[in-house]
Structure 1
Amino acid sequence: MKKDEVKVVVIGSSDVGKTTLMENLIDKIGKVEYKGITTAIDYGSLTIKDKKIHFFGTPGQKRFEFMRELALKGTNFALVVLDASKGITKEDEEIIKLLESKKIPYGIFINKTDVGDIDTSEVYNFCNPKFIVKGCAVKKDGLDELINKIMSHT
């Protein structure tokens, strides 16, 4: 990647809203779905203030776990998406441990705050993200703050 380009991997467990988040952050994304389930890596890019951010969204189902490893190669930053209605799951913890073991800086977007909540202190108790933003991808709540945080940490 060029100096003014960054790779951000959007990662999380199944049905947390990764693709919806990307669709509402970026005008046009490439995606492959089967019956509403992402089966390949989503892609889209966004240019802000002369910085091009390449977003790669990973499928969340366990059977596509190998794609996480592929997507994380050469990444500058990861965005972990959590589902506020489910709380922090074992799979969420595994994803965060994977990022930390690879020393990949990451932020957290707590999605679906219209139907649930996760206490940020609970998140900070087990991991050390660069930031936590709460919002609702469907309603586009928190997305401006999220982009600003990503910009300041990449």
Structure 2
Amino acid sequence: MRIRQPIVAVLGHVDSGKTSILDNIRGTGVQGREAGGITQHIGASFLPTDTIKKITGPLYEKLDKGEATIPGLLVIDTPGHEIFTNLRARGGSAADIAILVVDVNRGFQLQTNESLKILESRKVPFVVALNKTDMVSGWKNTDTPYISQAIKQQDQFVQTTLDEKIYDVVTALSVLGYQSEAFFRVKDFAKE
């Protein structure tokens, strides 16, 4: 059965790296062309299924049950600056699912909380993407595209620091009533 592409909204605080993540996925340079490097409008991109398969590699194969076919994902990039609340709300209200981007070094910030409230009010399911892990003091770049493998290649101090930062976000979500865990630690996705 073929269905329409899901609409994925990307929300978060200004400078959390929302557009940079999308640039990396799309192979574009949108963020570098924006005034002050800050998104000031809603942007939309279509990611075809072939692109998703290429980026996710073996992870896609694990999840692909062949039950439904989508043509890809329609991704809405929303601005994070505080003056663009209305644009975030519009992007969030159009979404089937959302990605809440959080700078792992700064944790939850004002527009992160605002974005979460937008998603809650519209009952939009979401995942949290912790970004800027490579900015953790002492982080060494690796060749692996998988964060779980990249973490294992770090010094123990860096692993411990990153773990503390991850659990700061897990705690913030818990205070707001959300049970969460780093995806690479989840044993049973049906339960956690």
Partners of 2:179 and 2:46 in 1: how far apart?
A: 23
Stretch moving more, 62-71 or 122-131: 122-131
Residue 34 (structure 1) aligned with residue 35 (structure 2): yes
Q: Which has the larger radius of gyration?
A: 2
How far off is 1:128 after superposition? 2.8
Residue 118 (structure 1) aligned with residue 138 (structure 2): no
CA spacing shift, 1:12–1:129, aligned 2, 3 Å:
farther
Q: Secondary structure at the match of 1:38?
A: coil
1:65 partner letter: T
Q: Percent identity?
A: 26
Residue 59 (structure 1) aligned with residue 79 (structure 2): yes
How far off is 1:102 after superposition? 1.1
Structure 1 segments unaligned to the other structure (5+ residues): 135-148, 150-154
Partners of 2:21 and 2:179 in 1: how far apart?
A: 19
- Runs of 4 or more above 4 Å deviation: 28-32, 129-134
**Corresponding residue of 2:148:** none
**Corresponding residue of 1:4:** 4
2:90 partner letter: L
**Corresponding residue of 2:16:** 16
The RMSD of aligned alpha carbons is: 2.8
Structure 2 segments unaligned to the other structure (5+ residues): 51-68, 137-164
Q: 2:110 aligns with which of 90, 97, 104?
A: 90
Q: Which has the higher helix share?
A: 2
Partners of 1:132 and 1:19 in 2: how far apart?
A: 22
How far off is 1:132 after superposition? 5.1
Partners of 1:45 and 1:133 in 2: how far apart?
A: 25
Partners of 2:8 and 2:29 in 1: how far apart?
A: 14
Residue 108 (structure 1) aligned with residue 156 (structure 2): no
Partners of 2:41 and 2:8 in 1: how far apart?
A: 16
CA spacing shift, 1:15–1:45, aligned 2, 3 Å:
same
1:29 touches 1:42 (CA, 8 Å); kept in 2? no
Q: Which has the higher strand share?
A: 1
Deviation per residue, 1:92-136 (Å, 9 max, x gap): 2222122112101000001011234331531441243787559xx
Q: What TM-score does the superposition give when structure 1 sets the normalisation length?
A: 0.73
How far off is 1:74 after superposition? 2.7
Partners of 2:179 and 2:4 in 1: how far apart?
A: 23
State the aligned residue count.
134
Q: Secondary structure at the match of 1:95?
A: helix
